[in-house]
């Protein structure tokens, strides 16, 4: 089925409010999840909601939290997300970081202990709207599902990193990816659709290559591989330590609670105006962008800049709506039912 973005937002907002959130919190969660679908990242879209409901009911996700400032030294901030909705904690943390970057030229922000903060590109986009460059390193405290380079079982999660660069008068650069070959949510989406995955992404519980996303949903489960062999693995290690330790958060070791997905994030936010290089940043980025995208394309391809695919998806899905596969849809209805919402009423919201 296909659902229009506005109806999908109302659907998510209804479920999150039924979980005890204020309308403002529920709106933020709904906006953020639907944005992930709109930008083509169904892995981090509304399909996450059933897991959020499970975690909420099990006490691993707390509704209506406010960011706690652990330490404040002007351009250096350490924050605790109190296991609150990452959509809200992320937004509050970036707002603080943006204000400090404007004041001091740069802000270094440690956000520890937020529940799942979703698509990291959203936080770069918040900084881009303020004309600021940002770099984000994230770790994930959840069931370990990514194998280290040379290893054969999951030891960490999909640790994403993200860079946002504003370009005056042109589209920004937004690089935002998991350090695993693909995000776990994309394995879930393939599993829900009954599809197989390309070779080189998964290993089974014996460490053998597999194309079956089911290896991640049966016990003992298999693992995702890091992208780029030792390089992606190395970046995942850097994310784990920068986000999980330098922020005052935790790194993954042992088996964490199955009732939460905790994210820690270290963010650097820089004001190019204050650095005195804003004009050069624009001029050189535009020159390089023109140069690099002029590379003669390989057959059937074209050179794009990071952030371009998401803009194209957003354009298309804002017009056509967001496709929701049958398994995800029934998981969403079941999540609503767990919070006492009638299936018929939820169907009506999605179809309105």
Residues that bind ligand NAD (CB under 6 A): 41, 43-44, 116-121, 138, 140, 158, 160, 162, 174-178, 182-183, 186, 263, 304, 306-307, 309-310
DSSP β-ladder status, 106-115 and 76-80: parallel
Q: Closest distance between ligand NAD and the C-beta of residue 152, in Å?
A: 21
Q: Closest distance between ligand NAD and the C-beta of residue 347, in Å?
A: 28
Instruction: Tell me which DSSP letter residue 43 carries.
Output: G
Q: Closest distance between ligand NAD and the C-beta of residue 39, in Å?
A: 8
- How far from the centroid of its chain's Cα atoms is residue 312's Cα? 18
Closest CA to 250 of 80, 58, 66, 73: 80
Query: Can you say whether residue 224 is alpha, beta or left, with left for phi > 0 and alpha for psi between -120 and 50 degrees?
Result: beta
Q: Closest distance between ligand NAD and the C-beta of residue 250, in Å?
A: 14
Tokens 């691993």 map to which residue? 60
Q: Closest distance between ligand NAD and the C-beta of residue 218, in Å?
A: 22
CB 104, CB 75: distance < 8 Å: yes
Q: Closest distance between ligand NAD and the C-beta of residue 303, in Å?
A: 7
When the beta carbons of 262 and 281 are compared against ligand NAD, the nearer one is 262
Q: Closest distance between ligand NAD and the C-beta of residue 224, in Å?
A: 10
| Rounded Cα distance, 128 and 260, in Å | 30
Closest CA to 191 of 171, 222, 212: 212
Q: Give the full edge-to-edge strand order of the sheet including 262-270.
A: 68-73, 76-80, 106-115, 262-270, 133-141, 160-165, 173-178
For residue 311, with 0-12 CB atoms within 10 Å meaning exposed, 13-18 middle and 19 or more buried, which class applies?
A: middle
Q: Which residues make Cβ contacts (< 8 Å) with residue 254, sequence separation at least 6?
A: none
When the beta carbons of 215 and 252 are compared against ligand NAD, the nearer one is 252
């Amino acid at each position: 089925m296909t659902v229009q973005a506005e109806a999908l937002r109302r659907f998510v907002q209804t479920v999150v409010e039924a979980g005890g959130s204020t309308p403002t919190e529920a709106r933020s969660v709904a906006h953020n999840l639907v944005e992930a679908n709109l930008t083509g990242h169904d892995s981090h879209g509304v399909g996450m909601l059933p897991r959020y409901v499970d975690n909420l009911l099990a006490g691993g996700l707390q509704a209506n939290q406010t960011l706690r400032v652990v330490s404040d030294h002007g351009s250096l901030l350490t924050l605790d997300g109190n296991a609150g909705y990452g959509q809200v904690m992320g937004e509050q943390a970036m707002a603080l970081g943006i204000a400090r970057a404007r004041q001091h030229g740069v802000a270094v922000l440690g956000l520890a202990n937020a529940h799942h903060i979703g698509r990291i590109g959203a936080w770069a986009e918040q900084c881009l709207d303020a004309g600021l460059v940002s770099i984000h390193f994230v770790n994930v405290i959840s069931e370990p599902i990514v194998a280290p380079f040379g290893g054969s079982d999951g030891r960490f999660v999909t640790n994403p990193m993200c860079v946002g660069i504003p370009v005056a008068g042109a589209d920004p650069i937004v690089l935002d990816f998991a350090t695993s070959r693909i995000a776990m949510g994309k394995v879930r989406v393939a599993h829900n659709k009954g599809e197989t995955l390309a070779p080189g992404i998964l290993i089974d519980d014996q460490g053998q290559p597999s194309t079956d996303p089911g290896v991640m949903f049966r016990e003992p489960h298999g693992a995702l591989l890091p992208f780029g062999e030792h390089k992606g693995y190395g970046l995942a290690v850097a994310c784990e330590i920068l986000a999980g330790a330098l922020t005052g958060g935790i790194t993954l070791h042992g088996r964490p609670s199955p009732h939460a997905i905790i994210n820690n994030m270290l963010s650097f936010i820089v004001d190019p105006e204050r650095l005195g290089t804003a004009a050069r940043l624009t001029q050189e980025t535009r020159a390089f962008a023109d140069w690099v995208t002029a590379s003669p394309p390989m057959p059937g391809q074209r050179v794009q800049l990071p952030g371009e695919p998401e803009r194209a998806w957003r354009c298309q899905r804002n017009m056509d709506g967001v496709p929701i596969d049958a398994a995800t849809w029934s998981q969403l209805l079941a999540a609503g039912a767990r919070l006492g919402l009638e299936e018929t009423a939820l169907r009506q919201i999605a179809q309105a």
